[in-house]
Amino acid sequence: MADLHSARSAMTPATMGRASAGPTDVLAALQLLLQIEYLQSALYTRALTATDLVPTTDAQVYSTLANHSDQQLVLITTAITTRTALPAPSPVFDFTVKGAFPGFAFAAGQYPALQMLSQIVEDLGVRAYLGQLGALAGDKAALNTAVAILTVKGRNASEVRRLRGTQGWITGSSRGDLPAFAQAVYDGEENVQQGAVNVASLAGQFGATAGATQAFDEPLTSAQVTAILALFAS
């Protein structure tokens, strides 16, 4: 469901109301999304090469997540190079997130921490992509690429949440049992105003305010995404 909600949110005034972006804005958006792909690809590559980290029951899911992130990384890189720009280099990532996951080293017995990290980076990816759609609106090919990736990220976010035994969607701005640093990924999701409509006022028997927040994903700004990514940088 998250992928459908993300697609609907992408068309709200919050993401599409900006003036058409120029080539510089398009490249800046693509470069930011590239950092998301670097982060996700690095996490899943290390998870798959670790010994006795991912249980066999979930190995296929993580293999699929890795394949998706690698393919999306190639697609965003290609979108940048075809616009005669050089992709920014990948940072070195700290998956302890500056001590929020102390001792995490992709080791046996650390699967719960990996699951939490997977939820954080997937939820971040959905909101980061949403936030860049306005900047890509003037470049149809780049916009189509981002939307095609966004829907899959919504599915992936729901899947990693399922593995953790949680709901596949976000309620309000709740981060659940995730560490405090992750709150930045969820801030703003409590919004119930979509365009000129207060969705909570219409929800009624459809879940009231909680349902209204679950039904839409909200975009993160470039500055918010950059600040969150900085937490993962060594």
Can you tell me the distance from the alpha carbon of 41 to that of 45, in angstroms, rounded to the nearest whole number? Answer: 6
Sign of the Cα torsion 59, 63, 69, 72 reads negative
Q: Whole-model pTM?
A: 0.87
Q: Which CATH class name applies to 2-170+219-231?
A: mainly alpha
pLDDT tens digit string along 67-100? 999 999 999 999 999 998 999 999 999 999 999 9
Can you tell me the distance from the alpha carbon of 123 to that of 67, in angstroms, rounded to the nearest whole number? Answer: 18
Q: Is 132 exposed, middle or buried (0-12, 13-18, 19+ CB in 10 A)?
A: buried
pLDDT tens digit string along 19-44? 444 589 999 999 999 999 999 999 99
Q: Is 51 exposed, middle or buried (0-12, 13-18, 19+ CB in 10 A)?
A: exposed
DSSP 233: B
DSSP 92: P
pLDDT at 162: 95
pLDDT at 204: 62
**Which ranges of 17-110 does DSSP label H, i.e. alpha helix?**
23-49, 59-81
Indicate the domain borders of the chain.
2-170+219-231
